[in-house]
Structure 1
Amino acid sequence: MRSGLLRGWKVRVGLSVIVFFVLLALLGPWLTAAVPGLDPRANDLTAIGQPPSAQHWLGTTQFGQDVLAQTIEGARGSLFVGFLSAVIGTALAILVGLPAGYFGGRTDSWLNFLSNLFIVMPVLPLILIVAGYMQGTGLWVIALIIGFFGWSGGARTIRAQAMSVSNRDFVLAMRTLGEPHHRLLFHEVLPHLTGWIAAMFLQGVIGGVMAEAGLAFLGISDSGAISWGTMIQAAQQQSAVLRGMWWWFVPPGLCIALVATAATLVNFGVDELSNPKLRTVRRSVVRRTRDRAGRASRADRADGVVGETRVGSDA
């Protein structure tokens, strides 16, 4: 599965973009400290609201702060919220959905009721209320809130897949032989759900990054933290669109779009590899394309031979 995953161009492109932003987030503090003029909090009073130039590659904000430095620093905050909320949401989905699908009966009824309760809840208003009333809504708190309220849909998917795998012959045979439940859960059922869990995690990363940007845009965030969402929110407050300061809000918005596109590409690649139907369709399409190319090349060679024969006969 690992070798097949890396052969797809979608996965390679998506992973390259994600690895680039992860390295940017990890090495960002060292980079901004080592390069002069890349302090995200420094104010250059001689270049206020300036467009991209040789001194400031992505221009400056209304307060004279370098947009490139803030974009680099913002990668750390946005990806931190995205990955942490995805880890929390995926873990809760597995803890609720896996035993519900495996055990069934009363356990399934109670856990399914819990999942349905979170599904019908108005998630966005609840996030706004909780984040608004909690003191010190930093990136940790934002990530915890997003992850806590974003697991119910994944739990329903894990439940359905775990129920399907648990009713297969090899699981029923091992259960008849007296195999412990924990071993069946984590060594037999859970490995068959790897593709679904990976897709759920990537979807959680996208949702976490965009939810953090949305909450920051609405003003529910730590004013001292720098993320792509807080950059867009600051640009909105200072009317950057009306002033034509596109270099202030386009870089963070483009970074969010690139991360979402990269995670979606990896998700598509994992789905094609883990789904036998998509794998079969892909092989048939490749086979048909090769057959058509082979027939076209043979027809071209046959036309060439006929043409040479006609020329020789005329001579």
Structure 2
Amino acid sequence: MSTPIGQVAKPIDSEPAPGDVAAAVRRSRLPSWVVILWANRKSRIGLIMLGLFIFVAVFAPLLATHDPKVTDFAQSLPPGGAHPLGTTASGQDILSQLVYGARTSIVVGLVAGTVVTFIALLVGLTAGYLQGWVDEVLSFLINLALVVPVLPLMITIAAYSPVRGLFLIIFVISITGWAWGARVKRAQILTLRSRDYITAARFAGEGRLRIIFAEIMPNMMSLVVAGFLGAAAGAIGAEAGLEFLGLGDPTTVSWGTMLYWANNSGAMLTGQWIWLGAPGLAIALLLSSLTLINFGVDALSNPHLRER
């Protein structure tokens, strides 16, 4: 089909322009944020990838061919037959462990990301809005938490804890990962609290809670969501790292414990590279999906980014 003279053909694979997105928002019955996220190519790919991981996690009992903890199979079998990815040195099915491991990573990312975001939001909102001595105290705690090396602190807490398991890992990630988000949200609050509509609400006699949750929070949602995605990605990576170092519960089926046992059993030396590579690739893809979704979240707050 030819293009009329004087007009420029629009590339087929280009991102929709802001006007196109706005028209799609008006036509759609879905919430506007859903349309904007889906209109962004990178975000759309990330949503599809994340949806596949969630599907695998939810329907793990149906997708897994065997019980991931059963050790009745022959040891160190190569991929093929009843074991598409082979078996471990203990006789466990690698594919089943990979499928069930998605549950652990998603649960850790969801729970730890929510807790970290809540702590960061609570501290950042309180420090940025109240200011005064409250801001000074909380800013001191934020700066103190930022200068403390996070990885050694996580390893120390996990190593000397009398208990093991996902609860410990989520707790360690939550108390060590909130500071940067709190600092960013405090800076955003300091900017928003000086706006004219906030001053007008204050003179109108509205209470602090109403100003924070009805006037300020709606303008920070994209920042909060982006912070949650970043915290969830960090939690997934931290869980895998702690499990790989042997600081978690080795009986838990997760991608981190798969890496731990593969490394301890010398998987690379025995040619079982897929035992080590499969969970590593799964972690990389899950983290990539959250990163790609963040491009769409940025487009929610910045219409100029919807052109790319």
Q: TM-score, normalised by structure 1?
A: 0.84
Q: Cα offset for 1:70?
A: 0.3
Aligned length: 276
Q: Deviations 1:118-167 (Å, cap 9, x if unpaired)?
A: 11112111111111111222011101110111000000000001111111
Check whether the contact 2:298–2:305 (CA below 8 A) recurs between aligned residues: no
Structure 2 residue identity aligned to 1:161: Q
Match of 1:42 among 70, 73, 76: 70
Moved more, 156-165 or 3-12: 3-12
* Alpha-carbon distance between aligned partners in 2 of 1:64 and 1:224, rounded to the nearest angstrom: 14
* Alpha-carbon distance between aligned partners in 1 of 2:61 and 2:123, rounded to the nearest angstrom: 38
Runs (4 or more) in structure 1 with deviation over 3 Å come to 29-32
For CA contacts below 8 A with separation 6 or more, give which structure has more relative contact order. 2
Aligned to 2:228: 201
* Alpha-carbon distance between aligned partners in 2 of 1:8 and 1:171, rounded to the nearest angstrom: 32
Aligned to 1:308: none
Match of 1:18 among 50, 56, 68: 50
Q: Cα offset for 1:233?
A: 0.6
Give the SS at the match of 2:78: coil
Match of 2:153 among 126, 140, 161: 126
Check whether the contact 1:98–1:162 (CA below 8 A) recurs between aligned residues: yes
Check whether the contact 1:11–1:269 (CA below 8 A) recurs between aligned residues: yes
* Alpha-carbon distance between aligned partners in 1 of 2:141 and 2:218, rounded to the nearest angstrom: 24
Check whether the contact 1:51–1:247 (CA below 8 A) recurs between aligned residues: no
Aligned to 2:124: 97
Structure 2 residue identity aligned to 1:129: T
Aligned to 2:264: 237
Aligned to 1:280: 304
Aligned to 1:141: 168
Aligned to 1:80: 107
Aligned to 1:303: none
Give structure 1 stretches of 5+ with no counterpart: 286-315
Aligned to 1:261: 288
Q: Deviations 1:250-298 (Å, cap 9, x if unpaired)?
A: 11111100011100000111112312xxx32653x6xxxxxxxxxxxxx
Check whether the contact 2:36–2:299 (CA below 8 A) recurs between aligned residues: no
Check whether the contact 1:90–1:200 (CA below 8 A) recurs between aligned residues: yes
Check whether the contact 1:84–1:147 (CA below 8 A) recurs between aligned residues: no
Identity of aligned residues (%): 43
* Alpha-carbon distance between aligned partners in 1 of 2:214 and 2:245, rounded to the nearest angstrom: 44
* Alpha-carbon distance between aligned partners in 2 of 1:63 and 1:282, rounded to the nearest angstrom: 50
Aligned to 2:97: 70
Are 1:182 and 2:214 an aligned pair? no
Structure 1 residue identity aligned to 2:113: A
Structure (1 or 2) with the greater helix fraction: 1
Structure 2 residue identity aligned to 1:208: A
Give the SS at the match of 1:203: helix
* Alpha-carbon distance between aligned partners in 1 of 2:63 and 2:37, rounded to the nearest angstrom: 32
Give the SS at the match of 2:268: helix
Match of 2:181 among 140, 154, 176: 154
* Alpha-carbon distance between aligned partners in 2 of 1:88 and 1:77, rounded to the nearest angstrom: 16
* Alpha-carbon distance between aligned partners in 2 of 1:73 and 1:98, rounded to the nearest angstrom: 38
* Alpha-carbon distance between aligned partners in 1 of 2:225 and 2:123, rounded to the nearest angstrom: 17
Cα distance, 1:238–1:110 mapped onto 2, change above 3 Å: same
Moved more, 200-209 or 74-83: 74-83
Give structure 2 stretches of 5+ with no counterpart: 1-31
* RMSD (CA atoms): 1.4
Aligned to 2:250: 223
* Alpha-carbon distance between aligned partners in 2 of 1:281 and 1:268, rounded to the nearest angstrom: 9
Q: Deviations 1:26-53 (Å, cap 9, x if unpaired)?
A: 2213544xx4xx11111244x3212210
* Alpha-carbon distance between aligned partners in 1 of 2:230 and 2:175, rounded to the nearest angstrom: 15
Structure whose CA Rg is larger: 1
Aligned to 1:247: 274
Q: Cα offset for 1:178?
A: 0.8
